[in-house]
Structure 1
C-alpha cells in the first residue's frame, strides 16, 4: 500500500505492507482524509504535543472496513467509518492518560489502509460522500461541542461565530440546525451571501465595523449573544466578551496566535459581565456519535473547498490558498 510519513521538513510517500488487524481492531480502506490547522503545526514542529518521528500524519479520515480482528463486535466488513480524534477518550472528561492523537502521537489517516481500534471508530452518515465524511472528526466536532457542551437549551438563542475557517463554517450550519439565530463576523464582505446560504441571519464585516460587538448588541436588541464561538483568541477575546449577553458564554478555542500568547480582556468588558469562558478541545467519541446522528437526521452536507489527489498540493493550498471550507485528500475511489 501507499502510505505517508512525517519526515520533517516534509511529508514523504512510502510503500508498506498492508497491516493485519489484531484483537479488537478493524482494517479500514481509507478513501479520503481532510486537513486541519493542527496538521500544519505538526508539520512545522510547533504543535503543543510532540509528534512521533515518522508518524503517519492527519487525524481525520473516512473509509470502509475491509477486515476485522478477533473479538470485534461494533463493526463488520463493509461498514463506513471515521476514526475519533481522541481514540481512547470515549466519554466523560478528558484525562491525561487519554491524551493520544492520530497523526501526532500515533499513526493517522493519510494512508491507503489504516488500523483502528473498534472503540475508536464511529459509523458515518450514509448520505455523505467519502470526502464529506472525512471532515467530521476534528473541525465539525469542535463546532458541535462548542455549541452543545454548555448544557443550555439552544433553540431560539443567538450564536456568534467568527470568520470563515472550517470550525466557524460548521458552527454556522450546526447552530442553524439547532434552531439558533446566527451572526457571523468576517473580513470578506464577498462571502456574505455564501454564509447566509449556510444559515447566517446576519453578517458583520469587521473591517468596516471594527467595534463589531456593538453591532451584535444592536442586532440582539441590546441583550448580546447567548454564545460566542471565538476561533481567534488574542485578537478577538475582548470583543467576544463585550458581545456576550450578561449570562452568556464565550467558547475559547485559540489561546495564542502569531502575534501574541496572551488573552487580554479589559476590566471594563469583564467587570460589567457575568459571562462564562469555556474551553473546548474537540470532543470524545460519544460526542462524535451524537454529531453524526444530527448530521444524518438533518441531511447536513459539509462545505468542501477543494479535493486533491496530490498530498503536497493539498498542504500547499491549505496553507496559502485561503480556503472556504475543508481541504480534502482523496486516497481511493470517491
Structure 2
C-alpha cells in the first residue's frame, strides 16, 4: 500500500509517498480501504506548517477520508466488513463540548487519510449516507460537520429565522444547505456575479458582493429591516462586520482561528463587540455525534454536496496546486478509483 507523508513547512516538496505493508486491525480497530478524500484550506495550512495544532513530522496528512471496511479487530461491534464509512476528524471526540483530551486530530497529531488503507478505532468512524457516492461523502467530514456545529450547537435556527454565512467555501455551502433544509432565510456574501449565481441556484435568498460593498453589514441590516441576522456563520471575516450584522440576542459562530486578509486580521473594537449584544462562539469542527446528525439530515432531505473537481490519488500534488490557486466552487476531492 502507498501513503503520502508530510514534512510541515516545506510545501509540496515536503509531500512524499512511501510503500508500506497492508495493516491489520487490533482490538477495537477496523481497517478501511480508502475510496475518496476531501481537500481544503485546512490542508494548505498544515502543508505550510501554519496550523494551531502541532503537526508530527512525517505524518500521513489529510483529515477527510471515506472508504470500505475490509477487516475488523476483536470486540468491534459498531461496524462490520463491507460497511461504507467515513473517518471522524477528531476520533476521540465522541460528544459534548470540545476538550483538550480529545484534541488528537487526523493528519496533524495522528496519521491521517491520504493513504490506501487506514487503521481506525471503531469509535472514530461513522456510516455514510446510502444515496451518496464515495466522492460526495468525502466532502462531509470537515466542512459539513463544522457547518452543522456552527449552525445548531448554540440552538438551531427556527423556520423563518435569518442566517448569514460568509463566502462560498465548503463550510458556507453546507451552512446554506442545512439552513434552507430547516426553513431559514439565508443571506450569503461572495466575491462576484458568477459565484452569486451558483449560490442562488443552491437556494440562497439573498447574495451580497463583499468586494463591491466592503461594508456589507449595512446591506444585511437593510435586508432584515434593521434587525440583523439571527445567526451568523463566519469562516471568512472580517469579524467586526459579522458583529455589525448580527441581531440583538443572536449568535456569531466564529469558525477557525484566523480570518483571511489584513482586514479580517484587524483587532475588533470592544465597543462593536459589546454593542452587538450577541454571543460569539468559537467553532472547531465537531464531534462524532455531530457527524451522525449530519448524516441524518443529508439522508432525510436527500442532500448532495457541491463538488468542484476530482483528482486521482496519484495526482495529489496537482490537487494541492489547484486548491492553492483558489477560485473554485465546491469541494476538491481525491478518488482512489
TM-score, structure 1 normalization? 0.95
Question: Judging changes above 3 Å, is the alpha-carbon distance between structure 1 residues 154 and 263 closer, same or farther for their aligned structure 2 residues?
Answer: farther
Match of 1:329 in 2: 334
Deviations 1:118-176 (A, max 9, x none): 00100000111111111111111111111101124432110011111111111111111
Which moves more between the two structures, 160-169 or 7-16?
7-16
Which residue number corresponds to residue 222 of structure 1? Answer: 226
Counterparts of residues 1-334 of structure 1 (less than 5 Å): 1-8=1-8, 9=10, 10-233=14-237, 236-256=238-258, 257=260, 259=262, 262=265, 264-267=267-270, 269-309=272-312, 310-331=315-336, 333=337
Unaligned runs of 5+ in 2: none
- The Cα shift of 1:7 comes to 3.5
Secondary structure of the structure 1 residue equivalent to 2:233: strand
Relative distance call for 1:54 and 1:92 in structure 2 (3 A) is: same
Q: Write the distance in 2 (CA, Å) between the matches of 1:165 and 1:274.
A: 27
2:257 and 2:35 map into 1 onto residues whose CA distance is: 33
Q: CA deviation at 1:255?
A: 3.6
- Deviations along 1:183-237, whole A, 9 cap, x unmatched? 011111221221011120001112222221111111112211001111124xx11
Distance (whole Å) between structure 1 residues aligned to residue 291 and residue 285 of structure 2 = 9
Q: How many residues align?
A: 330
Following superposition, the deviation at residue 296 of structure 1 comes to 0.8
**Alpha-carbon distance in structure 2 between the residues aligned to 1:270 and 1:15:** 52
Deviation for aligned residue 1:53? 1.5
Determine if contact 1:255/1:262 at 8 Å carries over to the other structure.
no
Q: Secondary structure of 2:109's match?
A: coil
Quickly say closer, same or farther: Cα 1:50–1:191, change in 2 above 3 A.
same
Q: Distance in 2 between matches of 1:171 and 1:258?
A: 22
What residue ranges of structure 1 are gaps of 5+ in the alignment? none
CA contact (8 A) 1:5 1:12 kept: yes
Question: What whole-Å deviation, never above 9, does each CA across 1:9-67 have from its counterpart, x for those lacking one?
Answer: 22112111100011001110100001122211111111111211211110001000011
Query: Which 4+ stretches in 1 moved above 4 angstroms?
Result: 260-263
Comparing 146-155 with 88-97, greater Cα deviation is found at 146-155
Residue 307 of structure 1: CA displacement? Answer: 0.4
CA–CA distance in 2 between the matches of 1:258 and 1:5? 29
TM-score for the superposition, normalised by structure 2: 0.94
1-structure distance, mates of 2:276, 2:55: 40
**2:62 match: secondary structure:** coil
Q: Deviations over 1:264-287 (max 9, x none)?
A: 333553343311111111110001
